[in-house]
C-alpha cells in the first residue's frame, strides 16, 4: 500500500514541473501539472488522515474525502473551503488534458494560483516529510 509521503513527494514533483513550464508557450502543461499536483496532495492528505484515498473517478468524491479527512480536526472549517477550491481546480482538468487545445494564459495563471494555495494548505496540515536517502 502506498504511503501518504509518496503522494506528497509526487505532488511536489508535479508542482516543480508546473512552475518550470509556467509561461505563455506552455499553458496547458503548466496547468495540467498543477492539477496533478493538487490531486496527489489531496490523496496524501486523505491517506494520512484516513488511511485511504479516493479510489473512484469522481472528483466530487475526492472533495468529500477531503472534508471527511479533516472532520473533527482543527482544519475542519478550512477543509470545507478547500474542498470547493479543489473542485474548481479539478473542473478544469478536461479542458486542459482532453480537449486538444491550449488554454489561455489567464486561465492557466488562475489554475496555477489556485493550485499553489491548495498545496500550501496541504503542506500546513500534514507533518513535515522525513528526508529520503536522496535528499540527505
Looking at residue 37, which CATH number applies to its domain? 1.20.120.330
Residue 131 lies in a domain: no
Residue-wise pLDDT for 58-69, tens only, equals 777 899 999 999
- Interatomic CA distance for residues 127 and 58, integer angstroms: 27
* pLDDT at residue 44 is higher than 90: yes
Residue-wise pLDDT for 70-115, tens only, equals 999 999 999 999 999 999 999 898 888 887 777 899 999 999 999 9
Residue 24 lies in a domain: yes
Residue 57 lies in a domain: yes
Average pLDDT, the chain: 91
Length of the chain: 136
Q: What is the pLDDT of residue 66?
A: 95
Domain count, the chain: 1
Residue 133 lies in a domain: no
Per the structure, the complete domain to which residue 64 belongs is given by 4-125
Look up residue 68 and give its three cell numbers: 471527511
* pLDDT at residue 2 is higher than 80: no
Amino acid at each position: 500500500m502506498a504511503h501518504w509521503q509518496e503522494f506528497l513527494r509526487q505532488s511536489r514533483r508535479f508542482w516543480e514541473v508546473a512552475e518550470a513550464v509556467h509561461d505563455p508557450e506552455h499553458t496547458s502543461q503548466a496547468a495540467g501539472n498543477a492539477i496533478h499536483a493538487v490531486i496527489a496532495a489531496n490523496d496524501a492528505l486523505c491517506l494520512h488522515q484516513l488511511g485511504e484515498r479516493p479510489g473512484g473517478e469522481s472528483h466530487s468524491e475526492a472533495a468529500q474525502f477531503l472534508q471527511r479527512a479533516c472532520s473533527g480536526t482543527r482544519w475542519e472549517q478550512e477543509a470545507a473551503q478547500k474542498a470547493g477550491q479543489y473542485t474548481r481546480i479539478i473542473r478544469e482538468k478536461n479542458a486542459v488534458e482532453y480537449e486538444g487545445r491550449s488554454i489561455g494564459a489567464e486561465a492557466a495563471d488562475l489554475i496555477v494560483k489556485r493550485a499553489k494555495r491548495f498545496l500550501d494548505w496541504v503542506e500546513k496540515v500534514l507533518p513535515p516529510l522525513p528526508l529520503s536517502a536522496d535528499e540527505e
